[in-house]
Structure 1
């Protein structure tokens, strides 16, 4: 989970550095703030208070669904617009939580699988930029960068194949560590910023200025909010099934409220939207540890890590080529998760058309970044992110082409099959 958690601030922060919105020395702050709020979000979800928190062993972290939209928002309107839209997204989730269960019919496995697949494919552009040495670098694509990325990826694969199960579960993190050590031996690691950071500090709210609220940005993030809520619902149902605690509409709404509050805190502390980590479902099943207090302890560990700025500086010193090799595996896993969800669906000709057109529209800004350059600003904010545009198209096309063709029981069966497949895979 750690490797996935720190990936989001590194992706968004790196893009903002390239856009001139942040400085390279701001990246450590993004990392520790992310861990700090992830810990609070995990404790909130596991322990709960009043109507916040589903009270299950669930670990929270930044969602990849928001990466593309946030990069688009930050590039067009500045980093403060990112945090304004994140806060608005959190409030949107809070308000919609009590009634979201009635909207689940708009997000069957066919739609969610397509969106998850699109998230993974869209992020491959980021992995490619990392593997080449960083988008815009003078020596982009140099053999040294590509070989370092390849070495990291090979280490991840070897650990996955030959390491004991307990070690293989953190193959991506160990691959990043090994790749960084090799890069350090080759003189490719700049650790000068580590000594400048304090050992202890509380993340500062609104460190980059007061949030700004731009209409198109808020709309794009509210679309992401719907995806987050759907993702959380699936994870909560699956964890409830594994631990033997049936989850009803009230518990789902409580989990949504915790997501919404955590996302608002994310905007305040200069980090991003939060959701349940899907990998948590498989780990709960695999380990047999079903106590929510274990997740609470994990949340406490994340909070402590978020109070150590030197740790953020260490993560920020990891060469981007190393992150590129790990990113290929990490983002590819996200895409494969979407394929796994789609495999549990009945893919007739109309369903295939929903997937095909949604993927096609969603990939347009990735393969042709200037395609919407002449459109109005609000349109660019929504559609320059393939994730938000693909999600919108998937929801609309599913309603036009597939509504009424499958009963609610069939959709529920497909969702259950997806959870069972995920558990077996993990």
Structure 2
């Protein structure tokens, strides 16, 4: 198939698919492996089990991304949406594991995935709760809440004894400059690879500075076998299942916001039918995750910023990312190479990517009328409450666990607040489909 105009359904030549796809993988890798590491530490699992969790996660990330980007039947949104493990599930999974073990975690995940799959057509009816003022606010909130991730990466990563050192910040800043100047002065294909070039160049500079090395690559195994139900057949504790269902309700809200953000960037209308297909894919991927020793899946907001930076809209680029993730899961040596990218380098690129999400939200809100209505206070309060966990991470520690799942996610609580205030001030929006803002 020949290359078409830059649209969501454009098929690019294989070299471009690989390069753009690899760029997405490098941008999301740190976030993709974070949840398995956290759960393994919480459960005091041995190193070999941690490796299994990471490879299973990468493998299932790839499957989930292929389901979402390629789609089949009424499953998958057919948009460039990278899938990864949701951080909203970390707290509940750690609690379930401490009380009932790993098998109860996977039992709860499988049931919650089935629940998500089945309620997708009903939840998708809520698309009318997302008029332009709400979607523009949510896109902005996503970018604001992701920015601290890039800042922490740039400092060297949480827990790094050299966090905030001149070496880490300098390395991140150099990477940032490489991304900016490549984006500004390179043309066409090379310009669109500004983030990938920044990550590679930053890693090479880090090696020259002695900040990173590839010794771990030699220790990694060549091939990894993903064994279903490695920790044993799932067990079902209904309190655990209920808490995981609450997590998936939160995930559905986040997925809706991410889907609309991507639809805005790639000029594809996300209506009731499309949203139902996207949420079904989340549910199916979560079930697969429970079977393959992984976790609940949702859209990775990090990669929304990358699409905004590159303006490469093809869903087949993200499908290529899915193939790369599957290979990383099957061949640990490849995963080890990617893992050698320093956090500071990721942070330098992340500043640009996440900032672009904020800019996209502001651009969307620029199309919204703020005269003689309540839209200004809607945006102000929604963004304000979304920043509470950023300013004071322990702010909600005294609240019940079920409430913390909602409140500690700035993206989720800010999104829910925007929806509620829109209903309060403006009533139910007309029509059941999102009309793209600023479509050219």
Specify the alignment match of 1:384 in structure 2: 408
Matched, 1:416 2:436: yes
Structure 2: gaps of 5 or more residues: 1-23
Distance 1:139 1:46 in 2: 39
2:82 partner SS: strand
Deviations 1:17-60 (A, max 9, x none): 88786788888766654543343234434654444345x4x344
Deviations 1:114-141 (A, max 9, x none): 2232222122222222222222332221
Specify the alignment match of 2:250 in structure 1: 223
Do 1:92 and 1:222's aligned partners in 2 also have CA atoms closer than 8 Å?
no
Relative to structure 1, is the Cα distance of residues 332 and 285 closer, same or farther in structure 2, using a 3 angstrom cutoff?
closer
Deviations 1:376-411 (A, max 9, x none): 22222321221222122112111111215x6449x8
Do 2:305 and 2:353's aligned partners in 1 also have CA atoms closer than 8 Å?
no
Specify the alignment match of 1:192 in structure 2: 215
Deviations 1:73-105 (A, max 9, x none): 467666969867765653343122223342111
Distance 1:217 1:331 in 2: 28
Deviations 1:287-344 (A, max 9, x none): 8x7xx87876664454334322112112222211112212212222232232233233
Residue 153 of structure 1 deviates from its aligned partner by 0.8
Distance 1:103 1:206 in 2: 35
Structure 2 counterparts to residues 56-135 of structure 1, below 5 A: 56=78, 58-62=79-83, 66-67=86-87, 69-70=88-89, 72-73=91-92, 87=110, 90-135=113-158
Distance 1:268 1:171 in 2: 37
Residue 179 of structure 1 deviates from its aligned partner by 0.9
Do 2:224 and 2:331's aligned partners in 1 also have CA atoms closer than 8 Å?
yes
Specify the alignment match of 1:424 in structure 2: none
Structure 2 counterparts to residues 337-376 of structure 1, below 5 A: 337-348=360-371, 349-376=373-400
Matched, 1:150 2:158: no
Specify the alignment match of 1:5 in structure 2: 28
Relative to structure 1, is the Cα distance of residues 279 and 387 closer, same or farther in structure 2, using a 3 angstrom cutoff?
closer
Relative to structure 1, is the Cα distance of residues 376 and 102 closer, same or farther in structure 2, using a 3 angstrom cutoff?
closer
The two structures have a TM-score, normalised by structure 1, of 0.78
Distance 1:271 1:282 in 2: 27
Do 1:84 and 1:267's aligned partners in 2 also have CA atoms closer than 8 Å?
yes
1:360 partner SS: helix
Do 2:128 and 2:430's aligned partners in 1 also have CA atoms closer than 8 Å?
no
2:436 partner SS: helix
Specify the alignment match of 2:338 in structure 1: 315
Deviations 1:349-402 (A, max 9, x none): 511211111111111111011212222222223212212221221121111112
1:274 partner SS: strand
Residue 111 of structure 1 deviates from its aligned partner by 2.2
The two structures have a TM-score, normalised by structure 2, of 0.76
Q: CA RMSD in A?
A: 3.9
Distance 2:107 2:363 in 1: 34
Matched, 1:396 2:417: no
Deviations 1:153-197 (A, max 9, x none): 111111111122212222222211111111111111143321122
Do 1:216 and 1:379's aligned partners in 2 also have CA atoms closer than 8 Å?
no
Farther off after superposition, 78-87 or 224-233: 78-87
Distance 2:222 2:215 in 1: 15
Relative to structure 1, is the Cα distance of residues 341 and 208 closer, same or farther in structure 2, using a 3 angstrom cutoff?
farther
Distance 1:393 1:232 in 2: 18
Matched, 1:273 2:293: no
Aligned residues: 405
Farther off after superposition, 309-318 or 4-13: 4-13
Distance 2:156 2:265 in 1: 39
Do 1:132 and 1:321's aligned partners in 2 also have CA atoms closer than 8 Å?
yes
